[in-house]
Amino acid sequence: MNMFPGSFDSAPNIANWFTINKDGTVRMVSGKVEIGQGINTAFVQIAAEELDIDPDRIEISAGNTKDGLDGGCTAGSQSMQTEGISVRKAASAARMLMLSKASELLQSDVRELNVIDGEIYLNDNSTNLSYWSIAKDIDFNQPVEIYMQPKLPSQRKLAGKSIKRIDLKNKILGTHEFVHDIELDGMLHARVVRPPSVSSRIIKIDIDKINTLKNLKKLVVNGSFIAVIAEREEDAVKLVQQVNKYCKWSTPDKIIEDPLQFIRDTKSPIINSLDKGKIDVLRSDGVSTEVSRKFLCHASIGPCCAVAQWKGNTLEVYTHSQAVFAMKRTLASIFNIDESDVDVMHKHGSGCYGHNGADDVVLDAVLVAKELNGTPVRLVWSREDELSWSPLAPGMVTKIDANLADNLMIESFDISIKSPPHVKRPSGENGEYLLAAEHMSNPLNPPNPVDTPLDKGGAADRNSMPLYDIPNIRIQKQIVYDLPWRTSAMRGLGAFVNVYAIETLMDDIASIQEIDPIEFRLKHLSDPRIIELIERVRDISKWTDRSSGLPKGFAFSRYKNSGAYCAMVVEINVDEDIELINAWAVIDAGEVVNADGVKNQIEGGIIQATSCTLIEEVNFDGEIISATDWENYPIIKFKQTPQIQVELIDRPEEPFLGVGEAAHGPTAAAISNALFTAMNIRIKQLPITRERIISSLNT
Amino acid sequence: MANKYSLTVNGQKHEIESDPDTPLLYILRNDLKLKGTKFGCGGGVCGACTVIMDGLAIFSCDTPIWSIDDKKIETIEGISQDGIHPLQELLIDEQAGQCGYCLSGIIMKVKAITDDDPTKSVDDIANELDRNLCRCGSQLRILNAVKKYLDGKSSR
């Protein structure tokens, strides 16, 4: 494992991470940003542990390019596994550096010192020294690598405890400042005037007529990027429709009737993700499945927003982007200015679960602000923008052919994955993949993104590698680049569909063999960690006592095959609609920092995944995305809330494993398996709707 | 055309000059700087903008200012003026939230329902939260907090 993952490239020294103040507070820098997952609380907890201080003393500055600490993108459930480790090392180094100084002053050995909430003790007797009194005489520009000495698991006191989220109280009180709430002197309001669909471009715009519109401060036209600026926000909102009446847009020349069929029929080159052993064609006693999912929306409750201000040639942006440094590089490249002249500062946004329009709205705001000679502007997307102009989660098709050996064990899995790209995040090379970059008068034409290889976690093929003992496995993927719609990362990427395929197929085979589906899986498992996990969820859900009660379903996966393990049992009610009633999840996330934080992520993941499994799908009218409001893109409601029990297997000696996306695939598959138990029907196209169940019963 | 409107927000009287059709949300957020109330959809479907008008939960995003002249408005900032509201305390205890964007609207809706009829059950409230959406999946924790709030109310 890399000793210094990610963030240490830009932040090798203790001073890059921590400032110890004489007033008894600590300023800590984080390269990973809060997107509702509680990461900054976990970081504070790790730092407080190593520093031996109360977590309340720590103020965190996260995702601000002015701090210079580049933590990369906050994505992929990677934050604990990469920067979490770095925070621990940097905090331990800060402690050790201060204790070295104290040992000099006290003429003692460092090993005789200990710390209680920042006060330094010598052989358990108080001294007149504390972090707060000695820090001013210490040069913290020292390499973390030299001083780091993280505690042993047995020495940790805070680890695994559930401290409260540092940001949640103010969010409940309504006093937290989200990016939407920023107010700068003289700030104006802007909105974007959108074309009817993704490939439409402006043909004609009647600027004279538009300039007569009431309350229009300024119209911005840059190719097909059109925006309105007003002094009052409600005027900007109203002007969008008024202006669009004077715009004529081109109509798309290509209509795709059935996007999923288009994906299924792709002729894109086949990429071999894995070739293990020997694959025969599907034999007559083999079992095959082909599952698919329609496109999904990120569907954040608060639309994307950014605040931008140009001061001469320098630019400041407030954003809820998950990748502030990539955004800084991207903006510098688009506007041909020095990176040092751009600062990008993260502010909390409405929850996003991957790559929504958070990055796109930044370029929108910056293009508008460019027309304003130093006046700041706040640009918020409309509900329709949020649902239909954020990148979608791609529709996807996964097929598995399984051959069985004479002893009825699985001999081979032949897996084929077809999907539009899952990752189109701007990285800084050029303005790639930002929405407005396609609309500007000099549009950028970025190359097709490379789908992340499986050995780096995969994207379309994420979690396509089963963790069962199967001697022969072939995994092939085809990335579909010729659909018009913008797609990018949403929680789990390909894992959602791939886990659905593997875990429903496991139940299908078990059913043919008339074996308990958990028993069938255990026959194909040798990793004691997975076996313990599955046996635990079998116990707490009373799986073996299934003769009465609601139908149950089981599923398992380990996110990315390298993150947290999740085994799940669900109980559903099949009536007019399917309803998830109970879920039991057992999670092995290695060393747990904040137990309640992990549980919160898993509970939320199960509820969101239930929505994706039972309700959500994007439909199209030609090229137009029909998901424009909550009526035509409904999501789960309060009355559909299941009961959830999450148990953690804490392994303090093991590395952290990211949990944010662990529950998604298992939830979908477990619900489908419960329906299979209840009605002996297998719904292969997500979402599992009432209509699909009825049509499945009729065939 | 700008007209003058008078409204009482969190006990404080304000004279507002505005177009009659300006949604209350923008008056609260941009004129009165009460940013706890959020924009979500603009169509009264997601509940992020919920405030209480004369005891009734309303969507401030599609309520024009002309319709609330002389009315009493309560926002998230108003309910904790005399210390944290017990429902908020319970939400903090339950750590009921992830991104937190939907919370102020949900809190206002639950407060309006339970102030009006303290005998409502948690299932009643889950049904009445039909137009309050949460994308992070905090519903279970929110309802757990609401249940404790109802238990507390009935035992008082």
Q: Which fold has domain B3-75?
A: Ubiquitin-like (UB roll) (3.10.20)
Read off the DSSP letter of residue A514. T
pLDDT value of residue B153: 81
Taking CB atoms and an 8 Å cutoff, what residues of chain B touch A608?
Answer: 135-137
Assess if CATH 1.10.10.10 describes domain B86-155.
no
CB-CB under 8 Å, B35 with A603? no
B99 touches chain A (CB under 8 A): yes
Q: pTM for this one?
A: 0.97
Taking CB atoms and an 8 Å cutoff, what residues of chain A touch B113?
Answer: none
Chain B residue with CA closest to A601: the answer is B98
Residues B51-57: what's their mean pLDDT? Answer: 97
CB-CB under 8 Å, A639 with B30? no
Which amino acid is located at A667 in the chain? T
CB-CB under 8 Å, A233 with B135? no
Question: Mutate which of B28, B31, B33, B98 to disrupt the A interface (most A C-beta within 10 Å)?
Answer: B98
How is chain B split into domains, by residue range?
Answer: 3-75, 86-155
Shortest Cα–Cα distance, A359 to chain B (Å): 18
**How many beta-carbon contacts under 8 Å exist across A and B?**
175
B78 touches chain A (CB under 8 A): no
B3-75 and B86-155, same CATH topology: no
Question: Mutate which of A45, A172, A241 to disrupt the B interface (most B C-beta within 10 Å)?
Answer: A172
Q: Is A76 left (phi over 0), alpha (psi -120 to 50) or beta?
A: left
CA dist A549 and A675 (Å) reads 14
pLDDT value of residue A576: 85
* Segment (H or E) for A279: none
The minimal CB distance from B46 to the residues A36, A301, A596 is found for A301
pLDDT at A3 over 60: no
Question: Mutate which of B74, B77, B99 to disrupt the A interface (most A C-beta within 10 Å)?
Answer: B99
The length of chain B, given as a count of residues: 156
- Tens of pLDDT, residue by residue over A432-451, are 789 999 999 988 888 899 99
Judged by average pLDDT, the poorest of A162-166, A564-568, B77-81 is B77-81
CB-CB under 8 Å, B136 with A36? yes
CB-CB under 8 Å, A608 with B95? no
Confidence of residue B74 (pLDDT cuts 50, 70, 90): very high
- Tens of pLDDT, residue by residue over A334-362, are 999 999 999 999 999 999 899 999 999 99
Taking CB atoms and an 8 Å cutoff, what residues of chain B touch A605?
Answer: 137
Domains of chain A listed by start with CATH number:
6-162 (3.30.365.10), 180-251+298-389 (3.30.365.10), 396-423+459-698 (3.30.365.10)
Structure tokens at A391: 């990148």
Name which of A438, A527, A452 is nearest A486 in CA terms.
A438
Judged by average pLDDT, the poorest of A1-10, A90-99, A190-199 is A1-10
Shortest Cα–Cα distance, B122 to chain A (Å): 10
CA dist A218 and A368 (Å) reads 9
B45 touches chain A (CB under 8 A): yes
The minimal CB distance from A233 to the residues B30, B35, B99 is found for B30
Shortest Cα–Cα distance, A167 to chain B (Å): 9
Shortest Cα–Cα distance, B33 to chain A (Å): 9
CA dist A395 and A387 (Å) reads 15
Residues B36-61: what's their mean pLDDT? Answer: 97
- Tens of pLDDT, residue by residue over A656-696, are 999 999 999 999 999 999 999 999 999 999 999 999 999 99
pLDDT value of residue B25: 98
Taking CB atoms and an 8 Å cutoff, what residues of chain A touch B129?
Answer: 637-639
Residues B73-94: what's their mean pLDDT? Answer: 95
Taking CB atoms and an 8 Å cutoff, what residues of chain B touch A165?
Answer: 95, 97
Instruction: Name the average pLDDT for chain B.
Output: 96
CA dist A160 and A591 (Å) reads 8
Read off the DSSP letter of residue B29. I
B62 touches chain A (CB under 8 A): no
Backbone angles phi, psi at A305, to 5 degrees: -150, 145
CA dist A303 and A389 (Å) reads 11
CB-CB under 8 Å, B140 with A637? no
Query: In this structure, are residues A490 and A355 in contact, taking their beta carbons and an 8 Å threshold?
Result: yes
pLDDT value of residue B156: 58
pLDDT at A106 over 90: yes
Confidence of residue A2 (pLDDT cuts 50, 70, 90): very low
Q: Is A90 left (phi over 0), alpha (psi -120 to 50) or beta?
A: alpha
pLDDT at A363 over 70: yes
CB-CB under 8 Å, B33 with A643? no
Shortest Cα–Cα distance, A305 to chain B (Å): 11
Our separate counts of H helices and E strands in chain B read 6, 5
In chain B, DSSP assigns E strands to 3-9, 12-18, 50-53, 56-59, 72-74
pLDDT at B5 over 80: yes
Residues A595-622: what's their mean pLDDT? Answer: 97
CB-CB under 8 Å, B33 with A36? no
pLDDT at B69 over 50: yes
CA dist A603 and A597 (Å) reads 10
Question: Mutate which of B50, B95, B108 to disrupt the A interface (most A C-beta within 10 Å)?
Answer: B95
Determine how β-strand A565-574 pairs with β-strand A305-311: unpaired
The percent of residues above 90 in pLDDT, for chain A, comes to 92
Query: In this structure, are residues A541 and A569 in contact, taking their beta carbons and an 8 Å threshold?
Result: yes
The minimal CB distance from A630 to the residues B45, B92, B102 is found for B45
The minimal CB distance from A175 to the residues B36, B42, B132 is found for B36
Q: What is the CA radius of gyration of chain A?
A: 27
Residue with tokens 């299924």: A264
Confidence of residue A1 (pLDDT cuts 50, 70, 90): very low
Query: In this structure, are residues A190 and A371 in contact, taking their beta carbons and an 8 Å threshold?
Result: no
Judged by average pLDDT, the poorest of A397-401, A425-429, A581-585, A640-644 is A425-429
CA dist A322 and A45 (Å) reads 21
State whether residue A456 is helix, strand or coil: helix
CB-CB under 8 Å, A382 with B38? no
Confidence of residue A61 (pLDDT cuts 50, 70, 90): very high
CB-CB under 8 Å, A173 with B30? no
Query: In this structure, are residues A29 and A61 in contact, taking their beta carbons and an 8 Å threshold?
Result: yes
Residues A125-143: what's their mean pLDDT? Answer: 97
B122 touches chain A (CB under 8 A): no
CB-CB under 8 Å, B91 with A638? no
Structure tokens at A697: 């019963």
pLDDT at A87 over 60: yes
What lies within 8 Å, CB to CB, of A516 at 6+ separation is A510
Shortest Cα–Cα distance, A26 to chain B (Å): 24
The minimal CB distance from B126 to the residues A169, A177, A641 is found for A641
Instruction: Name the average pLDDT for chain A.
Output: 96
What is the maximum alpha-carbon separation in chain A? 85
Pairs from B7-11 (Cβ < 8 Å, separation ≥ 24): B7/B65, B7/B68, B7/B69, B7/B70, B7/B71, B7/B72, B7/B73, B8/B71, B8/B72, B8/B73, B9/B34, B9/B73, B9/B74, B9/B75, B9/B78, B10/B34, B10/B73, B10/B74, B10/B75, B10/B77, B10/B78, B10/B81, B11/B78, B11/B81
Confidence of residue B51 (pLDDT cuts 50, 70, 90): very high
Judged by average pLDDT, the poorest of A269-278, A341-350, B147-156 is B147-156
CB-CB under 8 Å, B136 with A172? no
What is the maximum alpha-carbon separation in chain B? 52
Shortest Cα–Cα distance, A549 to chain B (Å): 22
Confidence of residue A5 (pLDDT cuts 50, 70, 90): low
- Tens of pLDDT, residue by residue over A513-540, are 999 999 999 999 999 999 999 999 999 9
Structure tokens at B107: 């809190």
Query: In this structure, are residues A378 and A427 in contact, taking their beta carbons and an 8 Å threshold?
Result: no
Query: In this structure, are residues A336 and A442 in contact, taking their beta carbons and an 8 Å threshold?
Result: no
